[in-house]
Chains A and B, each alone.
Chain A
Amino acid sequence: MDFRDTPEEAAFRSELRAWFEANLPDGWRDRGPARGRTEEEISREWSKRLYEAGHAGLTWPKEFGGAGAPYTHQAIFLEESARAETPEHIGVIGLGMAGPTIIAHGTDEQKSAHLGKILSGEEVWCQGFSEPGSGSDLASLRTRAEVDGDDYVVNGQKVWSSFAHIADYCILLVRTDAQAAKHAGITYLLADMHAPGVEVRPLKQITGDPEFNEIFFSDVRIPRKNILGNENEGWKVAMTTLLHERGTLGFALTARLEVLMRKLIALAKETKSNGSTASNDPLLRDRIARQWVELQALKFTNYRALTSLVKTGIPGPEGSIAKLHWSESNQRLTKLALDILGPSSQLDGDDGVWEGFWQYQQLRSRGNTIEAGTSEVLRNIISERVLGLPRSR
């Protein structure tokens, strides 16, 4: 057990720090606390710089354009990105979900067509899994694909799709056999979002931002060679994607929470009321300390899971709690920020403190326990797969 960097890890960390220092976009550090996410242009430019420096796809094999680096490097990269508060890579879905699934199940042609462009940010990807009638029960999905010559013809509707409005490709689950048992009739396609018949409509959330989208498919022709894995075996392929969504997410989420923790401390120190600052209030101090403890617990739990991944190739069972705990901790943290703001918590937008940063974060956090597996589904997974309790259905 050694919680310090090895000399090699320390070297990578300091190289990254220097690189961030030299490469952050002009004016990035001077911006106010930004509302919402990184602007698209900045994100695209940042993705390109990361790619050119070899920092995109750190753990991807070298033959696919990655750095072939150990998982510890990915963890260090995410920690240092959080420390420097860098912009976000445009290819969140491509890097974390589509890419690893193509590496695991794709043909050589698919790999050479997409992997490089995912890394460089040239190709933006979105996810077409959830439907209005199929959320936690994903396998009940109804978007259908029928074979017509060399194409599938796709009709249906997908929902909760981030990046769909700027995406070039979509990892798409469709039903190809309506007679089969629900898990058995699903096929995994790589869909061109610029194809005729694809329509994207923004979906306004409780934050007021249209971060997610609905995607409508009307007689969209997708070449049959764009199938990932075999026809009607898409469920297995989708599990690879979800494993990556949940498996590699822990460090990214913790890094994000670390940034918010720092901002929360700054907020507590600058918020004045009744002749004192929030950071002097004993009740708020206790809650802030509790958040800090939760963050450390999450961080070191990720590291334990990582160690077991590095040593055995399988992430430890502790990893299954990362998203569940992060989402709830993030909700508590953002709510605490509003408590610190007191009456000012009700002022939003340009009239709000930090231009409504915390109001946005607090409202956005309510989605955290719903997206990428609801907390109820995650507790089922822990109960059944980690603890071996009897199945609930």
Chain B
Amino acid sequence: MDFAFSEEQQMLRDSARGFLSSKFTPERVAELAESSEGWDSASWSELAELGWIGLSVPEEQGGAGFGFIEEAVLFEELGRSLYPGPYFATVGLALPALVSSGSLAQVIAGEKTATFAWAEAGGAQDLSDPGALSTKASGSDGNWTLTGEKSFVVDASAADLVVVAAAAPDGTALFLAQLADAEVTTKGTMDSTRRLSTVAFDATSASLLVDAAGAPAVLERIRLRCLAAVALEAVGVAQSALDLAMAYVKERKQFEKPIGAYQAVAHQVADTYMETELARSLAYWAAWCVAESDERAPVAVAAAKSAAGEAAVAACERSIQVHGGIGFTWEHILHRFYKRAQWLDAFGGFGAAHRKVIAASILD
């Protein structure tokens, strides 16, 4: 039994934290959040140079040959710095569908970003069972076209490529299209560091990535990876909310004392510490299960996602509370963490949806 990261993984964390804290300061994140693009596309090639995009891709395919544990380290750090950009969309969502595609090299090299489109308004929402999709794929061999509309597409405004789950004649299959060929409508979102779009296809040309026979396994792989990634990001967000709270209550004085000396304040911070650590343990367990394709991955991921999403929201709420008025202002970074926390809590279903999975596994 060994529940710690290796020295190499720790070095990856240190270097990621160094890079992100110098490149994406709270001021820079706020600036990007309010820009029309919502991210810094020029910095994407730096992520590629650091080897982050192809981190888990085998070396013979041009990647670094690591696994999900290493990606887990990055997701936690990216959440911690509130990185705005399509890393989650590209690596957390699209990557498993791209591994055998001709676009993989461009993606790893940082020349193209990608996302994944499956949800449809009023229809399929849940990745574990996309159900009957109204987006249709027609054609054969090398010539496919897509028609239909996808909703809640993550960071489509920052992506070049889109992996699309669509109804092919023999069942749900995965296709690759260029977002430039589709109609992307980016929505106003609470969290402007990670935007959501509708993407409409009208006989848009696409290539087949994974056929109907192979799609369920790839979809499940994407589901497990992205939920674990969200849990890890949520842990990072919770940690930042905690760090901000700790720093503030040591500094801020009222009634001639730092407010952290008052138990009513300190105990809220202690509760955040407790919940963050508990969520972190679950997120690491989930990450390990996903990396090892352990049979417990579905419940581990459900446990981690439900606990970490809720812990991140609570951490931000308590942090706002102990900050007092300043924590409630637009200029303070906290509201951006709070909005990301809520984004993460909502993604792929709120906690109760995941506890349903757990209840079925322990009670039925």
Contact = CB atoms under 8 A, between A and B. Distances in A.
B220 interface: no
Contacts of A30: none
B313 to A, nearest CB: 15
Interface string A365-391: 000000000001001101110111111
A297 B250 contact: no
Nearest to B285: A300
A294 B304 CA distance: 10
A297 B278 contact: yes
Interface residues on B, range: 35 or more
A293 B261 contact: no
B181 interface: no
B261 A389 contact: yes
Quick one: which of B5, B274, B307, B355 has the most chain A CB within 10 A?
B274
A389 B266 contact: yes
Interface of B: 1-6, 9, 69, 246, 249-250, 257-258, 260-263, 266-267, 269-271, 273-274, 277-282, 284-285, 288-289, 294, 300, 303, 306-307, 352, 355-356, 358-359, 362-364
A286 B266 contact: no
A8 to B, nearest CB: 11
Given A285-B359, A301-B278, A382 B270 contact: yes
19 contacts: A2-B2, A5-B1, A268-B363, A286-B359, A288-B362, A289-B356, A293-B282, A294-B278, A297-B278, A304-B281, A307-B1, A308-B4, A321-B277, A379-B271, A383-B266, A383-B270, A389-B250, A390-B257, A392-B266
Interface residues of A, number: 49
A300 B250 CA distance: 30
B274 A325 contact: yes
Nearest to A305: B3
Main secondary structure of the interface of B (DSSP, over half): helix
B2 A387 contact: no
Interface in A67-125: 72, 75
A297 B262 CA distance: 29
B66 to A, nearest CB: 13
Interface in A263-284: 265, 268-269, 279
Nearest to B357: A289
A279 to B, nearest CB: 5
A379 B358 contact: no
Please name the 6 residue pairs, one residue from A and one from B, whose CB atoms are nearest each other, closest first.
A289-B355, A300-B281, A297-B278, A285-B359, A389-B260, A383-B266
